[in-house]
Amino acid sequence: MDKYKITITENGSVNIPSKVKMTIPEIANLFGIFYQTAKREVCTIEKSGIAGGDLSSPCKVEGKNIYSEYYGLEMIIALTFRLQSPNADILRRWIINAFRKCKVELR
């Protein structure tokens, strides 16, 4: 599943594949945070409706709730602006620079 994971090298280079599909442990590893922190923040973002998981892939059922096992780029971007870690900072700066390069005109 490595071809669907975002990676940040030791020198700060960011690699984002065309399709992102990451589990909570992979997300925790990406940001350099604890699993429990990643899971809590993913659940908070899902409950707020900002982003969700990939419900077309395997899911976990806990009570009345359905939790995705995989999360895409939308969730990773939401987490990037929510978390405080060195890798979150690298990814935030990469996203902002990529946005600036696109020269998107806002109306």
pLDDT on residue 105: 62
Summarised one tens digit per residue, pLDDT across range 68-81 is 889 999 999 999 99
Summarised one tens digit per residue, pLDDT across range 20-33 is 999 999 999 999 99
Residue-wise burial string across 59-72, b where 16 or more C-beta atoms lie within 10 A, e elsewhere: eeeeeeeebbebbb
pLDDT of 61 higher than 90 = no
pLDDT of 7 higher than 80 = yes
Mean residue pLDDT of the chain comes to 90
Token representation of residue 104? 């998107």
pTM over 0.85: yes
DSSP 53: B
